[in-house]
Structure 1
Amino acid sequence: MEKQGKVIEKNQGGQLRIRRVERSSGEYPDRLRDLNRMPKELYVIGSLPRDDRPSAAIVGARLCSPYGRAQAYRYARELAAAGVQIISGMARGVDGCAHRGALENGGDTWAVLGCGVDICYPRENRDLYQDIPRRGGLISEYPPGRPPLGSQFPARNRIISALADLVLVVEARERSGSLITVDFALEQGKTVYAVPGRAGDPLSVGCNRLIAQGAGIALSPRELLEEWGITPDKNPLGEEKNNFGLARTGDMVYSCLSLVPKHLSCIAREAGVTPAEAGTRLLEFVLQGLAQETARNYFVRK
């Protein structure tokens, strides 16, 4: 048996990489100790969430709409700006947007994986896999090398909800996997919020039904912050902005938009920024009504 918190694998540079944290360790999160099926051990790249800081889980549809992506990014960005730890699952869609929103603001975020922490899944989130440990961590109850099996993802959802003080659902179909997280959250006595959507929209059925059943209605990040008695800064990013309210990176990205749809990779190349940076700014512009996503990863100026 390895000792508590012992490094069991190193990266190519020889730096500390994967750690195993056992239940008997003082580093083991207190929020997990009340679980009926408390993980015997956790495998971690980076750090673990702090017990003395508020945390919110943001979950939702993988195949979400531009509205859902923008809302996930918005809530994570503003909550993280106020010091809230953001928990999600690094899946495509809402999860990825939540992590990016937190990271964009220099906030802290953790991804609970349904596979070994040495495996990046899905591969399209390679940038998050690399960036999250710098501001938080990757967590799994499964040992390194465990592939992403479908049966493991519902089980990991109980850890996502347990690590959070409240769970926010952003877009969910009638049988969305994110509703499994809600079930665990309710069993654990957590507060559940849902972002309302359009009546009749398949992506909004889950959230609207949660609200009808008594979940809190998420109308703004500020309302969620009131759960902890937190007053957000007027300018949470603290960035220098121009007369249009855009940060410098945003200036470059926005200047590359036109009335003709343009792909994210093309916008990033023209702006001289990474696709992740361009994607973050574009989501912000969509939220502000300055841009529109006409198809997946294609944007126009409004």
Structure 2
Amino acid sequence: FTSYGKRTALNISRYLARSGFTVISGLARGIDTFAHSGALEAGGRTVAVLGSGLDIIYPRDNEGLAEEIIKNGALVSEFPLGTLPLPGNFPRRNRIISGLSTGVVVVEAAERSGALITADCALEQGKEVFVVPGNIDSPYSKGCNKLIKEGAVLVEEPAHILQELGYDFSNDLGKGKTFTDLTVEEKELMKIITNQPLHIDDILASSSLSPQKLNTLLTIMELKGAVKQLVGKYFIKV
């Protein structure tokens, strides 16, 4: 991987996590590691799909990262406990990564990269493939640029991914709308919910409401156009 790939993977995963999406990757060294790390740094969820049994973390230097993922997501494997990380396991693992995903983002990929296998699986499963363009002189971008030539969606900034998937809420943020028909309780919630995605559990912890009451109020506020619910029970102020 390159410094460009690292920076881009972190930026995209942070953005998607803050937007309420779960970041799914394979816990491998490089781009996978940065994808998981970016989601965790943003306070979001991430899932790692392993090419080994759940009791064998590979690579070993990602054991600490795996522990953090367990706290804020999950480790997933189709292989029985005790299964070693054999080379043939990883292409099989990649089809699960794409299968669990709404879309697949390829940040860096050489001509013979596992990321290209994941992209192929995504296309077979009817999933969208997003690709970050790279330096034409970099071997780490050969696979990416090939996918773009073949029709993958070119990504210049993280918002392009959400727009392509139909989750474009960027134009609604920060407009500072004033709602005069909100109740006292709803106005109190508007002080908690901001322009940054906030999970319903965090809203509950910051309020004095019961879970049932909070769900009712959020539904009413969404109908009034005061808040918007994102994927994963995250809410933003409109």
TM-score clears 0.5: yes
> Is 1:180 paired with 2:117?
yes
Q: 1:165 aligns with which of 102, 116, 122?
A: 102
- The answer to whether the Cα contact below 8 Å between 1:168 and 1:194 also exists between their aligned partners in 2 is yes
Counterparts of residues 59-208 of structure 1 (less than 5 Å) = 64-208=1-145
The two structures have a TM-score, normalised by structure 1, of 0.56
Q: CA RMSD in A?
A: 1.6
CA distance in structure 2 between the partners assigned to 1:212 and 1:150 by the alignment = 29
- The answer to whether the Cα contact below 8 Å between 2:19 and 2:197 also exists between their aligned partners in 1 is no
CA distance in structure 2 between the partners assigned to 1:213 and 1:187 by the alignment = 14
TM-superposition CA deviations, 1:5-36 (whole Å, max 9, x none): xxxxxxxxxxxxxxxxxxxxxxxxxxxxxxxx
CA distance in structure 2 between the partners assigned to 1:164 and 1:119 by the alignment = 24
- The answer to whether the Cα contact below 8 Å between 1:117 and 1:144 also exists between their aligned partners in 2 is yes
TM-superposition CA deviations, 1:172-228 (whole Å, max 9, x none): 001111101111111001000110001121111000110011000011111111223
Deviation at 1:230, TM superposition (A): 4.0
- What runs of 5+ residues in structure 1 fail to find an aligned partner? 1-63, 239-302
Match in the other structure for 2:221:
none
CA distance in structure 2 between the partners assigned to 1:96 and 1:87 by the alignment = 11
Match in the other structure for 1:228:
166
- The answer to whether the Cα contact below 8 Å between 1:154 and 1:180 also exists between their aligned partners in 2 is yes
Letter aligned with residue 99 of structure 2: A
Number of residue equivalences: 175
**2:113 partner SS:** coil
Deviation at 1:229, TM superposition (A): 1.8
CA distance in structure 2 between the partners assigned to 1:79 and 1:167 by the alignment = 12
CA distance in structure 1 between the partners assigned to 2:38 and 2:57 by the alignment = 19
CA distance in structure 1 between the partners assigned to 2:169 and 2:160 by the alignment = 10
CA distance in structure 2 between the partners assigned to 1:237 and 1:171 by the alignment = 28
Letter aligned with residue 26 of structure 2: G
CA distance in structure 2 between the partners assigned to 1:230 and 1:134 by the alignment = 29
Q: 1:122 to 1:236 in 2, by over 3 A?
A: farther
Moved over 4 A (4+): 232-238
**2:23 partner SS:** strand
Instruction: Give % identity.
Output: 50
TM-superposition CA deviations, 1:134-188 (whole Å, max 9, x none): 1110000001111111110100100000000100001100111110111111100
Letter aligned with residue 86 of structure 1: V
Letter aligned with residue 51 of structure 2: G
CA distance in structure 2 between the partners assigned to 1:128 and 1:166 by the alignment = 23
CA distance in structure 1 between the partners assigned to 2:169 and 2:68 by the alignment = 28
Deviation at 1:119, TM superposition (A): 1.1
**2:87 partner SS:** coil
- The answer to whether the Cα contact below 8 Å between 2:20 and 2:197 also exists between their aligned partners in 1 is no
- The answer to whether the Cα contact below 8 Å between 1:82 and 1:230 also exists between their aligned partners in 2 is no
CA distance in structure 2 between the partners assigned to 1:176 and 1:95 by the alignment = 13
**1:116 partner SS:** coil
Q: 1:219 aligns with which of 156, 166, 189?
A: 156
- The answer to whether the Cα contact below 8 Å between 2:94 and 2:121 also exists between their aligned partners in 1 is yes
* Structure ranking higher in strand proportion: 1
